[in-house]
């Protein structure tokens, strides 16, 4: 069975490619450790085989001849064999577990690095919690694949070979008869392999969906409870869990189907050996010691033979995990740098959009031939109905997505031709939804400029009107922010996000509703800080608050993905039929531009 399994795996080009890649990526790193583990496994195989072989001496030299001296010698040999086997097994387990743990750590780091390389568009199409759940299962599959190959080849296969050698040495005729059952087992088990491939991929997807649902429920617990969705979500997740359980049971059933087959065939082989061998000893005076040694070897061979019989089914499951992980690792970043792309050189920070067209995934156009200029040392405000494409423009300037057509220039340099990291280092960005990461308050501000000193961090917090509330925290700047900043209010999270942008001190400043989460008093203080921050920079701001818009040097009105108006606040207000004037007249009482009910575009 084992030889047939290896042959069929080797003949499958897809399996062959995955196995070659897994070995190529790991063998060189762990070859010395694997050599030690294989040595331990060879020792286990040799001691197991010899423990069957020595039974002949026990029967013939000790029991038959009643030789007490030989009894002590054999007892000492057996004690040494089992002690050596125990030590070798201990070494094998420790080495393989350490290798496996390091493999998981390495692939986790690689998967995370790949997640960072992938563009924002990838995450628009892939649920993050689902992705993380899938990665965890597939990395474990890589570890299992390598361990299965090593243990099957170096432990089970060699142990079986050693025991078969003992069987052939003691009685070639009975050995030949017993081994006839192996091809039968191989033929039956091969039928399960194709089904295992389909079942395993579906199991990974279902478990990832369960994980995603739980993570999303934890993150959105306030909304879930506010809308009394507990029963509805429990039913939804319960259905997913039930499907995952059924799938796991199907896989367990496929795996378990090999057990009665190998048990039955093993029983047939050993029962036949007992009957035939007993007849030869009784009727023809054959060596009883050789018979017992043969039977011991045959029974000891059962476990490695059973594992070898089930190997291909389990191995295919691990191959599915490896393929799915490599699919992620091989996904090319959609906003990858072009070969030899130079770093951007930003002097004045002028931003020009030339005839920009963009759609998400080739769908309906979000931006339709948008053109405007954001001049250096000025503030350009993007206003208009919700869904018109304002935030998309902010994202495209940072090259979170590639354009369908047109160009975006920074100081005359097409951002499609320069190194992305160099562009983003020249941008300070405050998003519509403030994001904080695991760590302390100081850590989160320091992300704006990792080499910043504590004094610079505190100065940035002061400019963002965050220093006072930080100092009231239990550990000040060393206070943990909690999951996604759960320990802070929306306004506090936004001020920490602004402090991060202040610390960045980049020539281009992009603000996407940067004061949306603040109350009027905080908004006034932060706006003063932003006014200071904007000086000497090219600033593009998406805003609805009139206090922000009025102070802008130029206002770009975006509607349904197009620039419909452009000018200063005073100029646009005078256009009585213009969109900006209508929005302004409606929202002046609330000091915000309203979101029209009809504004439901992308």
C-alpha span between 523 and 545 (Å, rounded)? 10
Q: How confident is the model at residue 1 (pLDDT cuts 50, 70, 90)?
A: very low
**What is the β-pairing status of strands 405-410 and 413-414?**
antiparallel
Which parts of 459-527 are beta strand (E)? 508-512
Least trusted range by pLDDT, from 262-266, 521-525, 531-535: 262-266
Least trusted range by pLDDT, from 121-125, 510-514, 539-543: 121-125
Half-sphere exposure of 421 (CA within 13 A, CB side): 4
Q: Higher model confidence: residue 353 or residue 483?
A: 353
> How many other CB atoms sit within 10 Å of the CB of residue 358?
21
Residues in the chain: 602
Average pLDDT, the chain: 78
Max mean pLDDT among 182-186, 305-309, 344-348 falls in: 344-348
Q: What is the pLDDT of residue 355?
A: 93
Instruction: State yes or no: pLDDT of 310 exceeds 70.
Output: no
Residue 104: both structure tokens together: 């998981």
What is the signed CA dihedral for 451, 453, 454, 456, rounded to 10 degrees?
Answer: -110
C-alpha span between 408 and 392 (Å, rounded)? 13
Integer Rg of the chain from CA: 35
Please say whether the beta carbons of 328 and 135 come within 8 A: yes
Q: What is the pLDDT of residue 191?
A: 60
Mean pLDDT of the 169-175 span = 73
Q: What is the pLDDT of residue 513?
A: 79
Please say whether the beta carbons of 403 and 358 come within 8 A: yes
Instruction: State yes or no: pLDDT of 405 exceeds 80.
Output: yes
Mean pLDDT of the 424-439 span = 84
Q: What is the pLDDT of residue 273?
A: 64
Please say whether the beta carbons of 300 and 156 come within 8 A: no
Q: How confident is the model at residue 582 (pLDDT cuts 50, 70, 90)?
A: confident
Give all strands of the β-sheet with 508-512 in edge-to-edge order: 427-430, 508-512, 538-542, 379-383, 554-559, 562-567
Q: What is the value of pTM for the model shown?
A: 0.70
3-state SS, one letter per residue, for 533-588? HHCCCEEEEECCEHHHHHCCCEEEEEECCEEEEEECHHHHHCCCCCHHHHHHHHHH
DSSP state of 355: E
C-alpha span between 600 and 482 (Å, rounded)? 34
Residues with Cβ within 8 Å of 66's Cβ and at least 6 positions away in sequence, in order, are none
Q: Higher model confidence: residue 16 or residue 42?
A: 42
Q: What is the pLDDT of residue 51?
A: 79
Residue-wise pLDDT for 121-138, tens only, equals: 777 777 776 777 778 778
Instruction: State yes or no: pLDDT of 160 exceeds 70.
Output: yes
Q: Higher model confidence: residue 113 or residue 308?
A: 113
Residue-wise pLDDT for 365-395, tens only, equals: 889 999 999 999 899 999 888 888 898 999 8
Q: How confident is the model at residue 602 (pLDDT cuts 50, 70, 90)?
A: very low
Instruction: State yes or no: pLDDT of 598 exceeds 70.
Output: no
Mean pLDDT of the 494-510 span = 88
C-alpha span between 395 and 337 (Å, rounded)? 17
> How many other CB atoms sit within 10 Å of the CB of residue 107?
22
Please say whether the beta carbons of 488 and 517 come within 8 A: no
C-alpha span between 320 and 317 (Å, rounded)? 5
Q: What is the pLDDT of residue 227?
A: 58
Q: What is the pLDDT of residue 401?
A: 87
Please say whether the beta carbons of 432 and 516 come within 8 A: yes
DSSP state of 440: B
Q: How confident is the model at residue 471 (pLDDT cuts 50, 70, 90)?
A: very high
Q: How confident is the model at residue 65 (pLDDT cuts 50, 70, 90)?
A: low
Instruction: State yes or no: pLDDT of 6 exceeds 60.
Output: no
What is the signed CA dihedral for 328, 332, 333, 334, rounded to 10 degrees?
Answer: -120
Half-sphere exposure of 581 (CA within 13 A, CB side): 11
C-alpha span between 288 and 329 (Å, rounded)? 60
Which is nearest to 596 in space by CA: 570, 550, 556, 560? 560
Instruction: State yes or no: pLDDT of 162 exceeds 50.
Output: yes
Instruction: State yes or no: pLDDT of 114 exceeds 60.
Output: yes
Triad 303, 307, 308: Cα angle to 5°: 115
Residue 381: φ, ψ to 5° = -100, 135
Mean pLDDT of the 300-309 span = 74
Q: What is the pLDDT of residue 489?
A: 78
3-state SS, one letter per residue, for 42-61? HHHHHHHHHHHHCHHHHHHH
Mean pLDDT of the 455-459 span = 92
For 201-214, b where at least 16 C-beta lie within 10 A, e where not — what string? ebbbbbbbbbbbbb
Q: How far is CA 110 from CA 53, 123, 139, in A?
A: 48, 17, 10
Instruction: State yes or no: pLDDT of 599 exceeds 50.
Output: no
C-alpha span between 515 and 506 (Å, rounded)? 19
Q: How far is CA 446 from CA 38, 460, 515, in A?
A: 48, 10, 21
Q: How confident is the model at residue 104 (pLDDT cuts 50, 70, 90)?
A: confident
Residue 513: both structure tokens together: 């509703």
Residue 454: both structure tokens together: 């504590």
Q: How confident is the model at residue 2 (pLDDT cuts 50, 70, 90)?
A: very low
C-alpha span between 161 and 48 (Å, rounded)? 11
Please say whether the beta carbons of 383 and 544 come within 8 A: yes
Max mean pLDDT among 66-70, 258-262, 356-360, 487-491 falls in: 356-360
Residues with Cβ within 8 Å of 161's Cβ and at least 6 positions away in sequence, in order, are 45
Residue 555: φ, ψ to 5° = -120, 130
Percent of the chain with pLDDT over 70: 77
> How many other CB atoms sit within 10 Å of the CB of residue 361?
9
Domains in the chain (CATH in brackets) are: 2-329 (1.20.1560.10)
Residue-wise pLDDT for 337-358, tens only, equals: 888 889 999 888 899 999 999 9
Give 219's strand partners. none
């Amino acid at each position: 069975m084992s030889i047939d399994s290896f042959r069929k795996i080797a003949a499958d080009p897809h399996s062959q490619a995955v196995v070659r890649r897994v070995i190529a990526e790991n063998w060189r790193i762990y070859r010395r450790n694997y050599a030690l583990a294989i040595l331990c496994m060879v020792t286990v195989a040799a001691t197991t085989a010899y423990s069957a072989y020595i039974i002949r001496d026990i029967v013939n030299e000790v029991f038959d001849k009643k030789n007490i001296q030989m009894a002590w010698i054999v007892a000492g040999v057996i004690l040494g064999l089992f002690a050596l086997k125990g030590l070798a097994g201990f070494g094998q387990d420790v080495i393989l577990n350490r290798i496996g743990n390091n493999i998981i750590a390495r692939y986790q780091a690689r998967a995370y690095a790949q997640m960072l390389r992938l563009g924002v568009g990838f995450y628009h199409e892939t649920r993050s919690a689902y992705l993380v759940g899938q990665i965890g299962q597939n990395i474990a599959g890589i570890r299992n694949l390598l361990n299965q190959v090593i243990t099957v080849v170096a432990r089970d296969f060699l142990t079986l070979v050693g025991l078969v050698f003992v069987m052939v040495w003691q009685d070639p005729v009975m050995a030949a008869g017993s081994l006839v059952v192996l091809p039968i087992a191989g033929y039956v088990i091969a039928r399960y392999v194709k089904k295992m491939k389909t079942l395993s991929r579906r199991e990974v997807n279902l478990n990832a969906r369960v994980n995603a649902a739980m993570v999303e429920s934890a993150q959105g617990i306030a909304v879930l409870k506010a809308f009394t969705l507990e029963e509805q979500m429990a039913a939804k997740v319960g259905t997913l869990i039930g499907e995952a359980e059924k799938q796991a049971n199907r896989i367990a059933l496929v795996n378990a189907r090999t057990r009665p087959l190998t048990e039955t065939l093993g029983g047939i082989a050993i029962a036949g050996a007992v009957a035939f061998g007993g007849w030869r000893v009784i009727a023809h005076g054959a060596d009883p010691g050789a018979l017992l040694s043969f039977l011991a070897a045959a029974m000891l061979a059962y476990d490695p033979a059973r594992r070898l019989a089930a190997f291909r089914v389990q191995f295919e499951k691990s191959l599915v995990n490896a393929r799915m992980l490599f699919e992620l690792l091989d996904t090319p970043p959609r906003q990858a740098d072009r070969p030899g792309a130079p770093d951007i050189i930003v002097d004045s920070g002028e931003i020009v959009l030339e005839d920009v067209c963009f759609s998400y995934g080739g769908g309906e156009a979000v931006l339709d031939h948008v053109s405007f200029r954001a001049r250096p040392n000025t503030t350009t405000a993007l206003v208009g109905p919700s869904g018109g494409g304002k935030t998309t423009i902010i994202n495209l300037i940072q090259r979170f997505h590639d354009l369908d057509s047109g160009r975006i220039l920074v100081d005359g340099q097409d951002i499609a031709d320069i190194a992305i990291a160099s562009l983003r280092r020249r941008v300070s960005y405050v998003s519509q939804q403030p994001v904080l990461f695991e760590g302390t308050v100081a850590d989160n501000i320091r992300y704006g400029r990792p080499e910043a000193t504590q004094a610079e961090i505190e100065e940035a917090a002061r400019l963002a009107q965050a220093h006072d509330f930080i100092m009231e925290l239990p550990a000040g700047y060393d206070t943990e922010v909690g999951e996604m900043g759960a320990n802070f209010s929306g306004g506090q999270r936004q001020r920490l996000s602004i402090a991060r942008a202040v610390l960045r001190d980049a020539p281009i400043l992009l603000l996407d509703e940067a004061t949306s989460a603040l109350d009027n008093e905080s908004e006034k203080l932060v706006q003063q800080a932003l006014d200071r921050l904007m000086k000497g920079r090219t600033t593009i701001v998406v805003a609805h608050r009139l206090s922000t818009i009025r102070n802008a040097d130029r206002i770009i009105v975006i509607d349904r993905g197009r620039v419909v108006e452009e000018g200063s606040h005073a100029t646009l207000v005078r256009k009585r039929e213009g969109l900006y004037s209508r929005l302004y007249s409606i929202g002046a009482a609330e000091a915000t531009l309203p979101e029209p009910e009809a504004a439901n575009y992308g």
